[in-house]
Structure 1
Amino acid sequence: MISYSVLVIVIQIVSSNAHYLIGINTDLTLESANYCTNFSIHRDLSSIPRQCHRHLHCGSYNCEEQSFRCVKIREALCCLSGQHTVLVVLYEGGEAGKKNKKILGCVENALGLPEWIKKNKLENRLKLVVTSDKQGENSLAEKVLPEASVVISQPFWPCYLDQARIDKAKKLKLAITAGVGSDHVNLEAACKRGITVAEVSGSNVVSVAEHVVMQILALVRNFIPAYKQVVNGEWDIARIADKAYDLENKHVGTVAAGRIGLRVLQRLKPFNVHLHYYDKFRLDKSIEKDLNVTYHPNVESLAKVCDVVTINCPLHPETEHLFDKKMISLMKKGSYIVNTARGKIMDRDALVEAVKSNHIEGYAGDVWYPQPAAKDHPWRSMPRHAMTPHYSGTTLDAQARYAAGVQEILGNWLNNQAQREEYLIVDQGKVVSRAYTEGDATKGHASNK
């Protein structure tokens, strides 16, 4: 039986959360302990609280060599490391968030984390700071960053982790995206610091794909002006029909055919359209045949032939401002663009110019840069658009999925267990997701005060 006061020697693997208990008997001293030279950062702790003894007797070890009991334990055990501060940056839920507990992505419901922490008895290991206050040096997020081990943010209300913030967050080990899209993190800086970046891949794919199809139809069928007529008490059929078309027989192409782009193609097939796609990684021949989809070796080739282009690629240095003035000029006159990927993939002002000149017939999407969009953002007043706030990937169904994913990622990190491969964006100093490239796409976010 361990006494109330005991010498405990703990060693930590370099660049890891794992600690190893190498001795618990009272005769063991730091000088007499033999530990592997691959390990470093040792320390001795005494007067372990009696309530923590159960952690040392948890039954997770069964060592044959009693003089060197190598017991893997978690860094976050209350008796060893104290609490981890978890900064959670979400949007305000307002009255809707208070009434509807299924809106998990808002401050009021906090991804279900308070309940998850209580259920798993993690109160002594995790300290949650939940806020929507993320912009500027005096924001709560900025003040908490130096103490945060984990930052959880979301694409819809992103806490931009640029170089300056990562430099400030000395204790930061893990950045989690509640949803999909980790471009709000400077991935290059995260690699250099050894910060793990993870997101809940797959949580939004159906939600976004359905949103894309909805917005394509809204543009091609001229739905928005028609709806406005009803609201305004008008009835001018000719003015609506003047810009309304069938989707059938149109050429529709997706830039990227990953989890979302592929589902967009699958949902468009029944409309009897001519499908096109570009992706760095070509689809299997059987999928191309089943969808009767044409592959393009580059974006330029696709842009020249499509009546509708939908953008479904991640934002990283290679795709930043991909649709600039030159790319837009290659598109067919009178064509449409639907962008539910990231606002910064578009050249903001080049798009406005193309729509106003009628080269682009209409633009839709739900992504802006930075987010939230400024009240005077030119896309708000741009003609013939069908823009929405960024909500395509945060339906109530999607929120349930990404909240569960965040809890899984955080739990795995606490327990030093492997993350799902598809969730990892940056791991052990490298970009490990083929959807991203190392670099920084966060520049310019501070322009939105």
Structure 2
Amino acid sequence: MFQSIVFVFRSSVLQTSAGGKKIVGVFYQASEYADKNPNFVGCVEGALGIRSWLESNGHHYIVTDDKEGLDSELEKHIEDMHVLITTPFHPAYVTAERIKKAKNLELVLTAGIGSDHIDLLAAAAARLTGRADAHLDSAQELLPGYQQVVQGEWNVAGIAHRAYDLEGKTVGTVGAGRIGRLLLQRLKPFNCNLLYHDRIQINPELEKEIGAIFEEDLDVMLPKCDVIVINTPLTEKTRGMFNKEKIAKMKKGVIIVNNARGAIMDTQAVADACSSGYIAGYGGDVWFPQPAPKDHPWRYMPNHAMTPHTSGTTIDAQLRYASGVKDMLDRYFKGEDFPTENYIVKEGELAGQYK
């Protein structure tokens, strides 16, 4: 199995896929790290390991990390490229303006998971078709403890006064799709009280096996939770969902882990709540925008465990999503259809979870 891939293509692509194609890949630069591992394929230098395969089949493959602005390398190729490959770790934002310019665009592949870098409403309006395809140790202990070690200090009390066990705590996931369900299953051995909120209730047998309780009303679930894990897609409904008012419904001292997308959170509301101590800990590696600017408030707020967006880009994951991209491209070149269940946008209609 390969990691989920997102693609967007024009409805006629399966009838017009013959001939050499212009393919643009947008990845991050690995620089001096590029040669340290032969399987490091998710970067500009590695180019997903598909350059020779593409070029030997008569396709033109351009790879860059330059994606922002009208004078970027990506922008130079917008009008005549047929395929765009990008990643959630260094996303090329497929805006309404770019969709309008991309007259030849037939396919957009995301090497990773997520579709929020694509304007889905604009894609639907343009009648494109698309496919989308825990570890909860408290950062309150790990990061301050590490800082003590490297600074030559030893102050257990400075950490222990706000450290808790996970066992017996109430953990709620906002979103119970594939990742949310896996989270619930993996937390069961920790003897947590497990809650979940989603637009659809999961299979009753699995729900019983896990011991998770469905919460139809998010506002009812939030004040019950010691830990909240966000696993919902970024949509127009979830963008900015966790604002000042929503955070105020949570317990004081809540820990939030964001496995989804940074834009689901109100950036300043999170920073303010961490600064006041209302949020005891905020962790994740998803930001908005990405890369995060140097003055992003989450870099400097207290009680956070933020990292660059690296969770889905291990060497193993890179090999999976590179394989997935190659598989999707191979289907595309052969004019083969894609599995129905994998569509995000089909003939102008958004999938249910994105409406």
TM range (shorter): over 0.9
Residue in 2 that maps onto 1:11: none
1:225 maps to 2:225: no
1:90-109 equivalences under 5 Å are 90-109=27-46
The verdict on how the C-alpha distance between 1:161 and 1:295 changes in structure 2, with shifts beyond 3 A counting, is same
1:191 maps to 2:124: yes
1:356 maps to 2:246: no
CA distance in 1, matches of 2:155, 2:212: 38
Q: Is the contact made by 1:255 and 1:309 (CA closer than 8 Å) also made in structure 2?
A: yes
Residue in 2 that maps onto 1:17: 13
Give the letter for the 1:84 counterpart. Answer: K
CA distance in 2, matches of 1:308, 1:75: 48
Give the secondary-structure state (helix, strand or coil) at the position aligned to 1:417: coil
CA distance in 1, matches of 2:130, 2:229: 27
CA distance in 2, matches of 1:151, 1:100: 25
Q: Is the contact made by 2:197 and 2:221 (CA closer than 8 Å) also made in structure 1?
A: yes
Deviations 1:32-61 (A, max 9, x none): xxxxxxxxxxxxxxxxxxxxxxxxxxxxxx
Q: Is the contact made by 2:112 and 2:312 (CA closer than 8 Å) also made in structure 1?
A: yes
CA distance in 2, matches of 1:364, 1:249: 20
Cα RMSD between the aligned structures? 1.6
Give the secondary-structure state (helix, strand or coil) at the position aligned to 1:435: helix
Residue in 2 that maps onto 1:148: 81
Q: Which has the higher contact order (CA 8 A, sep 6+)?
A: 2
Q: 1:104: Cα distance to partner? A: 1.7
Pair member with larger Rg: 1
Unaligned runs of 5+ residues in structure 2 are 1-9
Runs of 4+ residues over 4 Å off in structure 1: none
Residue in 2 that maps onto 1:417: 336
1:386 maps to 2:299: no
Give the secondary-structure state (helix, strand or coil) at the position aligned to 2:71: coil
Comparing 392-401 with 327-336, greater Cα deviation is found at 392-401
Q: 1:333: Cα distance to partner? A: 0.6
1:324 maps to 2:243: yes
Residue in 2 that maps onto 1:113: 50
Residue in 1 that maps onto 2:354: 436
Residue in 1 that maps onto 2:5: none
Q: 1:16: Cα distance to partner? A: 1.4
Give the secondary-structure state (helix, strand or coil) at the position aligned to 1:338: strand
Unaligned runs of 5+ residues in structure 1 are 1-13, 20-73, 78-82, 202-212, 438-449
1:76 maps to 2:18: yes
Give the secondary-structure state (helix, strand or coil) at the position aligned to 1:92: coil
Q: Is the contact made by 2:344 and 2:354 (CA closer than 8 Å) also made in structure 1?
A: yes
Give the secondary-structure state (helix, strand or coil) at the position aligned to 2:138: helix
The verdict on how the C-alpha distance between 1:302 and 1:115 changes in structure 2, with shifts beyond 3 A counting, is farther
Q: 1:427: Cα distance to partner? A: 2.5
Q: Is the contact made by 1:314 and 1:342 (CA closer than 8 Å) also made in structure 2?
A: yes
CA distance in 1, matches of 2:38, 2:67: 23
1:116-265 equivalences under 5 Å are 116-117=53-54, 121-122=56-57, 124=58, 126-199=59-132, 201=133, 213-214=134-135, 216-219=136-139, 222-265=141-184
Q: 1:93: Cα distance to partner? A: 1.4
Q: Is the contact made by 1:175 and 1:196 (CA closer than 8 Å) also made in structure 2?
A: no
Residue in 2 that maps onto 1:304: 223
Comparing 90-99 with 155-164, greater Cα deviation is found at 90-99
CA distance in 2, matches of 1:236, 1:392: 30
Q: 1:300: Cα distance to partner? A: 1.2
The verdict on how the C-alpha distance between 1:75 and 1:345 changes in structure 2, with shifts beyond 3 A counting, is closer
Give the secondary-structure state (helix, strand or coil) at the position aligned to 2:54: helix
Q: 1:195: Cα distance to partner? A: 2.8
Give the letter for the 2:105 counterpart. Answer: L
Give the secondary-structure state (helix, strand or coil) at the position aligned to 2:23: strand
1:282 maps to 2:215: no
Give the letter for the 1:434 counterpart. Answer: G
Q: 1:165: Cα distance to partner? A: 1.1
Q: Is the contact made by 2:28 and 2:43 (CA closer than 8 Å) also made in structure 1?
A: yes
Q: Is the contact made by 2:14 and 2:336 (CA closer than 8 Å) also made in structure 1?
A: no
Comparing 335-344 with 414-423, greater Cα deviation is found at 414-423
Deviations 1:83-114 (A, max 9, x none): 32111111111222223122221111111221
Percent sequence identity is: 45
Q: Is the contact made by 2:176 and 2:198 (CA closer than 8 Å) also made in structure 1?
A: yes
1:293 maps to 2:289: no
CA distance in 2, matches of 1:422, 1:340: 23
1:28-107 equivalences under 5 Å are 75-77=17-19, 83-107=20-44
